[in-house]
Amino acid sequence: MSPSQLNATIKFAKGAVQASLSRAAVDWLVNIANLTTLINQLNEKPFGVDEILIESLQISNELDMPGRFTSECLMNGIQTPSVTRLSLWIYGTNELCKSQYARKSICIFGIEDLQSLSQYPHLMANKMLPEFDYAIVECVHEMIFNRTFLNQVDQPLNTDYYSNMVNVKFNRNRKWPDPNYKLECS
């Protein structure tokens, strides 16, 4: 790491515990960045520190973690889509949550959600509980197996969705700078 990276002031960010990281980012985290002091400092806090570390590293311009993004969109009040984890928040009723069951305001998916889950672009779904509905756990497992090993194409992969995400375009420009590039958060 450079001296400027070692002396950088970190702005904290909060997000989901789950993160999608590139190989380069994992290599940077494990072999280049020494996070011992930061982790020890975060561990002194009583709550929510698991939702701070990776998110703070990912938005730091100064640390320049591979695959990072920017806080610019969020600072302008614009949330950007994520594909790592699908969570359906329920406040009152939510027709997207077919099971109509929630815990801590998050939809607990049931078998009635299988068709819609099969169409989302996310890598994982939060939350399924086997004690609530084991069928959804087993059916999603079978769907992933069939798509992976049996070449089942019930939902064609829309690669344009992923390649046009704002964070993908941002990193494409970092790798191959375009003088005409402008961050478009929406």
d(CA 13, CA 144): 32
Structure tokens given for 71: 């806080």
How much is the pTM?
0.81
Reference 19, options 167, 154, 132; nearest CA is 167
Q: Under DSSP, is residue 62 helix (H, G, I), strand (E, B) or coil? A: coil
Within a domain: 76: no
Within a domain: 15: yes
> Structural domain of residue 110, as residue ranges?
85-149
d(CA 128, CA 120): 15
Query: Within this chain, do residues 90 and 143 fall inside the same structural domain, yes or no?
Result: yes
Within a domain: 122: yes
Q: What is the pLDDT of residue 153?
A: 86
Output the DSSP codes for 31-76: II---HHHHHHHHTSSS-GGGTHHHHHHT-TTTT-TT---SHHHHT
Res 93 pLDDT > 90 = no
Within a domain: 74: no
Query: Within this chain, do residues 8 and 64 fall inside the same structural domain, yes or no?
Result: yes
Within a domain: 172: no
Query: H or E element: which one contains 139?
Result: helix 134-149
Q: What is the mean pLDDT of residues 139-164?
A: 91
Q: What is the mean pLDDT of residues 147-165?
A: 89
Within a domain: 80: no
Q: How confident is the model at residue 2 (pLDDT cuts 50, 70, 90)?
A: confident
Query: Within this chain, do residues 64 and 89 fall inside the same structural domain, yes or no?
Result: no
Query: Within this chain, do residues 94 and 145 fall inside the same structural domain, yes or no?
Result: yes
Within a domain: 17: yes
